[in-house]
Chain A
Amino acid sequence: QVHLQESGPGLVKTSQTLSLTCTVAGGSISSVDHYWTWVRQPPGKGLEWIGYISDTGSTSYSPSLESRFTISGDTSQNQFSLKVTSVTAADTAVYYCARGHYSGHDHGPLDYWGQGTLVTVSS
Chain B
Amino acid sequence: SNVLTQPPSVSEAPGKTARITCGGDNIGSKSVHWYQQKPGQAPVLFISYNTNRASGIPQRFSASKSGNTATLTISRVEAGDEADYYCHMWDSGADHGVFGGGTKLTVL
Contact = CB atoms under 8 A, between A and B. Distances in A.
Interface of A: 37, 39, 46-49, 51-52, 60-64, 96, 100-101, 103, 106-111, 113-116
Nearest to B33: A109
Contacts of B45: 109-111
Interface residues of B, number: 27
B26 interface: no
A49 B96 contact: yes
Interface of B: 1, 31, 33, 35, 37, 41-45, 48-49, 54, 84, 86, 88, 90, 92, 94-102
B1 A64 contact: yes
27 contacts: A37-B97, A39-B99, A46-B84, A46-B99, A46-B100, A46-B102, A47-B86, A47-B99, A48-B99, A49-B96, A49-B97, A49-B98, A49-B99, A52-B96, A60-B95, A63-B1, A63-B94, A64-B1, A96-B42, A103-B31, A103-B49, A106-B31, A108-B48, A109-B88, A110-B33, A111-B45, A115-B42
Contacts of B84: 46
A113 B33 contact: no
Contacts of B97: 37, 49, 52, 62, 100, 107, 110
Given A47-B102, A60-B96, A63-B94, A108 B49 contact: yes
B22 to A, nearest CB: 12
Secondary structure at the A interface, as helix, strand, loop or mixed, is strand
A106 to B, nearest CB: 6
Given A47-B102, A113-B42, 13 more contacts: A46-B86, A46-B99, A49-B98, A62-B96, A64-B1, A96-B43, A100-B97, A106-B92, A107-B90, A109-B45, A110-B33, A110-B45, A113-B44
A62 B84 CA distance: 22
Nearest to A106: B31
B31 A51 contact: no
